[in-house]
Amino acid sequence: MFKKFIPFLLVLFLVPQLVWADFGDIPTGSALDSVLQYLEEKNLIETGQGQAFNSEKQVSWGEFLNFVLERRTVDTTGIKVPYLNVRQGGSYYNSVKKALKLGLLETKTKSYGYGYKITRLEALDFLFRFYQISYSDAVLPARWTYWDIDSGSRYAKLVQKVLELELIKPKATTRFGAADVLMRGELAKMIYGLELHAEGKAPPIEPKPMQIQIQFSPATFQYGTDIVNLDIFRSVWEALNSIYLHQDKINRNELMYGAIKGMIEKTEDPYTAYFTPEEAAAFTTDLSGDLEGIGAHVTQEPDGTIMIVAPIRSSPAEKAGLKAGDIIQKVDGQVIQGRSLGEAVKKIKGPAGTSVVLTIIRGEAVFDVRVVREKVTVVSASWKEEREGIYLIQLSQFAQNAYAEWRAAVQAILAKHSEPNRENRTTTTLRPKGIIIDMRNNPGGFLDVAKAILGDLLPSGSTGLIIKTTRRLQEEKIEGDELLKDIPIAVLVNRGSASASEIVAGAIQDLKRGQIIGEKTFGKGTVQQLFSYRDGSSLKVTIANWLTPLGREIDGHGVDPDVLMEDKLAIGNATDALVDRAVWYLQGEGRIR
């Protein structure tokens, strides 16, 4: 305990002459103090009034929009917000409307990822469009040193303009820090520099820091600023592309893709993957809800085995009897262990009407299964009345369209319980007896879709999950309409319920919002971020673990149901034991009185 306070005491005794600015953690005379004073005078930020500014705090997309637009005047008359998870009166509603009015946001999706962290490059791209600053005339130096920005992309000229305007500094001589999460202090400096540019002024030279040195204990972690042996990689690349004998046999794209995949392989993380343009197109299609093949979600284990996470409901895979946890040993007689996930999926997929023979390992048994491929259109959310007043919503995946389909299902259910009063022209809504959320064999999908659905189930402002990175724990708060807040809930899961399914189930369980029924879930508790590149390739990289609201680790563990039951539903069966158990719960024990 005493050691933790030593640095603080050193500051008190060694630097008594510092006077603090409006923000309690920013000393007067510092470069950031001048920046914040300027932004305060321009009425672009609120005065600090002694509160901490938290210059090292990471910025989400929602916080970014508020920082940039909240105090600016933009006529948003007639602007409709297309995002179902951004509600009128919510924290980011007004800023989102302003951004839409200015044409700064995409409107193709039905949800807005306000909780996602924004990167330095994303922020700069947005701000340059907001300030209408052109950078197409920027001249790149003869030697481009930043390996994380492709010199042939438009972002290289954007970064060059950023450096000319002295908005922010590169992270290192060879790395700009394009994909680094934006910090609040960096955002303030960006806006400060762009405001000065708009006024035709040059940013003042930063004052030299006060010559005070304080010795702290070494940090518990650090980020490298240089790539080890990058010069060797460049030398090998140049040799292969210049003096190698069989130049006619070299495909330079394949060389680069192979090198990248080699790096990914060494992480031994089954969820971090690099997709070539062809593989990326297939991956995006899979997440969009449309696919052609056997209709199963698969993953690759650290030892290289390909495992079925979940067969899609009513798909060829389910009809053929494939189950979550099955290992695919061979495809049409060819062993696929050791191949990349993309290569394996390519072999399994195929045109509708064709067949594929999969050699399956299930426990001690090894057997062949012939599956006839079909075109599979995945409906993310559908509903039916299971018993009088009790409804079942089947959530098949958390794809891009899932929240829109979920919302339509919820509104249709509530509409069945709405009675119009013709005398005073009002509508009385009677509460359904209960809702069953069926997430069996749901492999997951987009985190913001899961949060949006939780917004209809949990009290607004409650913690939906905890994101655990190498640097901090971050609580993700739920915002929503709470449409179903007073309606009893039962959730069905099995070992094919993974990722976003486990987020929803874990939050409902921790907050005692409903009963979880079925099998122990898959245990996929990591968060991935997708980076897309100009050639169409993409990188899916693990950036964090997620925990339930009470801090339970899910990765490798799964969610233990409140009621443990084996999921024995066979195709064509008239009864479903898990559904029957959920109905019993909602009719009696689960009813809110």
Cβ-contact 148, 177 below 8 angstroms: yes
Specify the pairing of strand 563-564 against strand 473-477.
unpaired
Residues in the chain: 593
Which tokens hold the place of 552?
């339970």
Type of residue found at 101 = K
Q: Which one, of 513, 328, 525, lies nearest residue 444 by Cα?
A: 525
CA distance to 26, 80, 361, 389, 589, per residue, from 486 (Å): 45, 29, 45, 14, 15
CA distance to 164, 379, 570, per residue, from 573 (Å): 69, 21, 6
- The neighbouring-strand residues paired with 87 are none
Strand, helix or coil for residue 261: helix
Which tokens hold the place of 24?
């309690």
DSSP per-residue letters across 435-447: EEEE-TT---B-H
- 465 Rama sector, left if φ>0, alpha if ψ -120 to 50, beta otherwise: beta
Name the active-site residue from 456, 510, 567, 576. 510
Main-chain phi, psi angles of 213, to 5 degrees: -115, 130
524 counts as catalytic? yes
Cβ-contact 496, 522 below 8 angstroms: yes
Which tokens hold the place of 258?
């192979």
User: Helix H segments across 516-592?
Assistant: 577-587
Name the active-site residue from 524, 537, 555, 567. 524
Q: Which one, of 474, 493, 443, lies nearest residue 551 by Cα?
A: 474
**Alpha-carbon distance 236 to 84, whole Å?**
50
510 counts as catalytic? yes
- Residue with tokens 């995002």, as numbered in its chain: 83
DSSP-based helix, strand, coil % in the chain, nearest 5 = 30, 20, 50
Q: Angle at the Cα of 562 (from 559 to 567), degrees rounded to 5?
A: 75
Q: Angle at the Cα of 57 (from 54 to 61), degrees rounded to 5?
A: 125
Q: What is the dihedral of CA 530, 535, 536, 538, to 10 degrees?
A: -20
In sequence order, which residues have a C-beta less than 8 Å from that of residue 284 and are 6 or more positions away?
Answer: 538
Strand, helix or coil for residue 73: coil
Name the active-site residue from 315, 499, 501, 538. 499
330 counts as catalytic? no
Return the active site residues.
499, 510, 524
